[in-house]
């Protein structure tokens, strides 16, 4: 028995020598002291020993077991400490380094302007509609009093898809679509993309308009002016004034070009308004009775007004942006300014 115990102790010590991690020490513990471990086995063989010798060998065995337990615990502690130290070293961070801030996106200035328009017009009782960007010539031109071969077609350089299908050159075809669909009173705005063969610092082949349409009894230029002035005051500042200049559109009669007092200099004259104090912002007019009749609305009973405003133009004025193309370049340095 004595010999067996010595052998166990020796082999344990040899193994202990090699074990250094907490996991290895655990494995050793299970193998020697566990339920099915070496000591349990030897314990079983006690039954074959003479009764009077049992207490002696029992104690011997137990002492050896306790000794092993102690040594294991001791080594365990050092191993755990060592492992923690290594982990802390590996996970070391330099808390004096500057942090990496999370990048948040921002709303595109055009989307902001669009949302503001929507907010203002819905507060005035307008409904918001949308329409197709690929449009029939019939809606884009013909119903709006611009027949084929009419010189007014030159006002808008058109992308033709076929002879009868175009990329809409303005949001005005939605005037016709809405009037064909709805009975007066009508109050809608139609925001959306439009396309023209045009490309320079103030024109882009794709840009966005907001069409406005009101049809009811006794609608006059006064209503148009009141409506647009209210909108411009909300959009720019309460001091903003507007003025009408005579113009021509085949679908409105009379037609006007609308200027607002320059929101950047307050009307004194600056680079943006080219020293005039006024900035042209949209085209508008009283619905041509021909268009009402074309769309099945009795022009002897109803009248209306319409306007078309360029969203990029408003955003350019609003934020003092000199070139329309910047909107579409997706330059993060530009976009970041509008957070
Ligand atoms: N559709 C015109 C344009 O794009 C603007 C407009 C709309 C004018 C409604 C009058 C009435 O230039």
| Model confidence pLDDT, tens digit, residues 3-20 | 888 888 888 888 888 888
- The atom number, within ligand 1, closest to the CA of 283 reads 8
Q: Say how many Å lie between the CA of residue 209 and the centre of ligand 1.
A: 9
- Rounded to an integer, what distance in angstroms lies between the CA atom of residue 114 and that of residue 209? 9
pLDDT digits (tens, 9 = 90+) for 231-276: 999 999 999 999 999 999 999 999 999 999 998 888 899 888 889 9
Q: Encoding tokens for residue 315? A: 């955003």
What is the reported pTM? Answer: 0.71
Is-contact 272 279, C-beta < 8 A? yes
The response to whether residue 170 sits with its C-beta less than 6 Å from ligand 1 reads yes
pLDDT digits (tens, 9 = 90+) for 276-286: 999 999 999 99
Q: Which fold has domain 109-338?
A: BirA Bifunctional Protein; domain 2 (3.30.930)
- Rounded to an integer, what distance in angstroms lies between the CA atom of residue 238 and that of residue 125? 20
Instruction: Please name the residues in contact with 230: beta carbons below 8 A apart, sequence gap of 6 or more.
Output: 124
**Closest CA to ligand 1's atom 12:** 283
**Closest CA to ligand 1's atom 5:** 308
Residue 104's SS3 state is coil
pLDDT digits (tens, 9 = 90+) for 127-151: 999 999 999 999 999 999 999 988 8
Is-contact 312 305, C-beta < 8 A? no
User: Binning pLDDT at 50, 70 and 90, where does residue 190 land?
Assistant: very high
Number of Cβ within a 10 Å radius of residue 289:
17
- Rounded to an integer, what distance in angstroms lies between the CA atom of residue 263 and that of residue 318? 7
Instruction: Pick 267 or 308 by higher pLDDT.
Output: 308
- Rounded to an integer, what distance in angstroms lies between the CA atom of residue 141 and that of residue 156? 10
Highest mean pLDDT among 27-31, 89-93, 257-261, 331-335: 257-261
- The atom number, within ligand 1, closest to the CA of 307 reads 9
The response to whether residue 207 sits with its C-beta less than 6 Å from ligand 1 reads no
Q: Say how many Å lie between the CA of residue 105 and the centre of ligand 1.
A: 34
Q: Say how many Å lie between the CA of residue 245 and the centre of ligand 1.
A: 14
Q: What is the dihedral of CA 304, 282, 129, 230, to 10 degrees?
A: -70
The 3-state secondary structure of 60-102 reads HHHHHHHHHHHHHHHHHHHHHHHHHHHHHHHCCCCCCCCCCCC
Residue 281's SS3 state is strand
Chain position carrying tokens 């809409």: 168
- Rounded to an integer, what distance in angstroms lies between the CA atom of residue 307 and that of residue 209? 10
Instruction: Please name the residues in contact with 284: beta carbons below 8 A apart, sequence gap of 6 or more.
Output: 212, 224, 228, 252, 255, 256, 258, 305, 306, 307, 308
Q: Say how many Å lie between the CA of residue 77 and the centre of ligand 1.
A: 84
**Closest CA to ligand 1's atom 7:** 308
Q: Say how many Å lie between the CA of residue 308 and the centre of ligand 1.
A: 4
Residues for the chain: how many in total?
Answer: 339
The response to whether residue 249 sits with its C-beta less than 6 Å from ligand 1 reads yes
β-pair partners for 134: 167
Q: Say how many Å lie between the CA of residue 139 and the centre of ligand 1.
A: 14
């Amino acid at each position: 028995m004595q010999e067996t115990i010595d052998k166990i102790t020796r082999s344990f010590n040899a193994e202990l020598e090699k074990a250094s991690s907490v996991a290895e020490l655990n494995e050793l513990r299970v193998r020697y002291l566990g339920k099915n471990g070496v000591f349990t086995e030897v314990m079983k063989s006690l039954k074959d020993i003479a009764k009077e010798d049992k207490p002696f060998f029992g104690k011997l065995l137990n002492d050896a077991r306790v000794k092993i337990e102690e040594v294991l615990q001791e080594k365990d502690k050092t191993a755990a400490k060592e492992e923690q130290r290594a982990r802390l070293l590996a996970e070391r961070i330099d808390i004096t380094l500057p942090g990496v801030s999370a990048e948040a996106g921002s709303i595109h200035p055009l989307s902001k302007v669009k949302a503001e328009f929507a907010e203002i017009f819905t507060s005035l009782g307008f409904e918001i509609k949308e329409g197709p960007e690929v449009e029939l010539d019939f809606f884009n031109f013909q119903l709006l009093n611009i027949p084929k071969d009419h010189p007014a077609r030159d006002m808008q350089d058109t992308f033709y898809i076929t002879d009868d299908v175009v990329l809409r050159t303005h949001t005005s075809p939605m005037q016709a679509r809405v009037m064909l669909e709805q009975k007066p009173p009508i109050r809608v705005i139609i925001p959306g993309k439009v396309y023209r063969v045009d490309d320079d610092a103030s024109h882009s082949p794709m840009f966005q308009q907001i069409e406005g349409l009101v049809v009811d009894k006794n609608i006059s230029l006064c209503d148009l002016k009141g409506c647009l002035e209210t909108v411009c005051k909300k959009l720019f500042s309460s001091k903003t004034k507007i003025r009408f200049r005579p113009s021509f559109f085949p679908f409105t009669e009379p037609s006007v070009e609308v200027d607002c007092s320059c929101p950047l200099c307050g009307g004194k004259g600056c680079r943006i308004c080219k020293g005039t104090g006024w900035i042209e912002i949209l085209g508008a007019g009283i619905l041509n009775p021909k268009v009402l009749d074309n769309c099945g609305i009795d022009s002897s009973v109803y009248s209306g007004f319409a306007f078309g405003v360029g969203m990029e133009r408003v955003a350019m004025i609003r934020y003092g942006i000199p070139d329309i193309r910047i909107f579409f370049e997706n330059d993060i340095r530009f976009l970041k300014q509008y957070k």
